[in-house]
Chains A and B, each alone.
Chain A
Amino acid sequence: MPRNLTYQAKSLLLALLVLLLWWFTPVIFKRWTGILFEEFQAPAWTALSYVGDLRSYWALRSRSKGELIEAGVDLSRLNAAYTLRNQRAEMLEQEIRRLEGFFNLPSYEQYRYEVSRVIKRDLTAWWQTLTIRKGLTSGIDAGQAVVFSGGVVGRIASANAYTATVELISSPRFRNAAHFEGDNRPVEFRGGDNPGLMSATGNVSTVPADVSASLRDPLRLVSSRLGGIFPDGLTLGWVYNLDPSPDGLFQSGKVRLDPRLQGIREVAVLVPLEAREGEEEAP
């Protein structure tokens, strides 16, 4: 029996020794091990994601020709609609440039869309992150905005050589300036309510007292340029109810986020374009 106790005691001492060693390990070494283990795993996660894509490809191959023709017709209709919308967008952009020149205004920041597949979702009570299949080599860097067809996804939390981690807007640590559609007064958006087995929600606060929202007339909360990360007007979520704060000056409420956010497969990272030479020289 004493021998057994000794075995356990020795094990415990060994564990304490490891913890003590870790405590005194230089921070640079700790950081290095973190990067090493992250980069070491990245190819495996990426390979698993490619396997998933291959599976989807073969599943799609099994579709009948009739289904594919139907999908093609739908896509051609969508293409026609988007072509018209593109022409209008180009016209509006030209108008913006003309007005910028006329009033000597600084240009809006320009982005290119870097589309990437999601290889891993990690959605817990403490953090909500996605890992995507592109990283530093594609120009992706920490702090850049990530969007999808439903609006804002989040921002790049960290970037490695070939992968990057996205912090979702539903993450408890996510905060950003926002405003309601048609009302430019800034409000504060915060992620964080992630109940189990239900869709994630966010919170909005510092809403002016004269704003009202109801189930019949919900308000669309959109991103604001004030945060310095997102362009203006991208959907964050919908607000159905606002409650006054104790001082009566502001209101706060829950923001219903897009439920597709939790099952998203592809995102676009907004990579800022370098300023054009002509603009740099402008006073």
Chain B
Amino acid sequence: MSDNARVTLLFFSHILLYFLIGLVNNTLGGWSLHLHLDALLLVFFGLFLNRMKGLVFSALLGFMTDALHPVPHGTYLIGYVLLWAFFVLSQRRIRRQNPLHVRTIAVVAQALWLAGLAFFLGKGLWTEWVYWQRVLVDFLASALVLFLAAWPWCLLQKKLLYSLGWDLDAQLTRM
């Protein structure tokens, strides 16, 4: 199997995660809660995958998310590319084999992205405490899920690649 085929399978696993997040949010809607897990979708592309493939897949996920949300067109594309760049810049500042580092960087990236959205999309609502309460509740719930899920998700992706004949850990050690 070629590298491209392996990485395409990896991308499809991310698409599955994307739909799973949608289903979870569909259920949580009844409790006025929304999980923002954009960083979970991008953390592996940004921290472990090579530059070109990571960027292309991040942009594609950005397009998919953007299409379903009533935001100025391109908001999520720009955001996801910037998030991917943030993860790439973090590569040499954290230990990618350390679960705590990966979990923390995912939560920090999500916090930055949510703060950006809160200021960009919340014009006219900045002075209302209910708005900030909602953003905070959503962020706390999302951060908890991200902290718990970021490392297992990366581990799962690495194992998937390993089972397809690509030892990512060995490659990272050589770098």
Contacts and interface: CB of A to CB of B under 8 A. Distances in A.
A164 to B, nearest CB: 12
B32 A194 contact: yes
B16 to A, nearest CB: 10
A126 B121 contact: yes
Contacts of A45: 19, 22
Contact of A37 (B29, B32, B63, B137): B63
Contact of A19 (B66, B78, B89): B78
Q: Is the interface of B mostly helix, strand, loop or mixed?
A: helix
B68 A12 contact: no
A41 B64 contact: yes
Contacts of A173: 70
A268 interface: no
A172 B32 contact: no
B81 interface: yes
A125 B138 contact: yes
Contact of B26 (A18, A41, A120): A120
A120 B21 CA distance: 11
A248 interface: no
B69 A37 contact: no
A7 B51 contact: yes
B70 A12 contact: no
A10 interface: yes
A121 B30 CA distance: 9
Interface in B44-95: 51-52, 55, 59, 63-64, 66-71, 73-74, 77-78, 81-82, 84-85, 88-89, 91-92
B84 A196 contact: no
Contact of B88 (A8, A18, A124): A8
A263 B67 contact: no
A270 B135 CA distance: 33
24 contacts: A8-B91, A11-B55, A12-B85, A12-B89, A15-B84, A22-B74, A34-B73, A35-B67, A37-B66, A37-B67, A40-B67, A41-B67, A45-B19, A121-B25, A122-B29, A124-B138, A125-B34, A125-B134, A127-B70, A172-B125, A173-B70, A193-B130, A196-B137, A263-B30
Query: Which 4 pairs show the lowest CB-CB distances between chains A and B?
Result: A196-B137, A37-B67, A121-B29, A263-B30
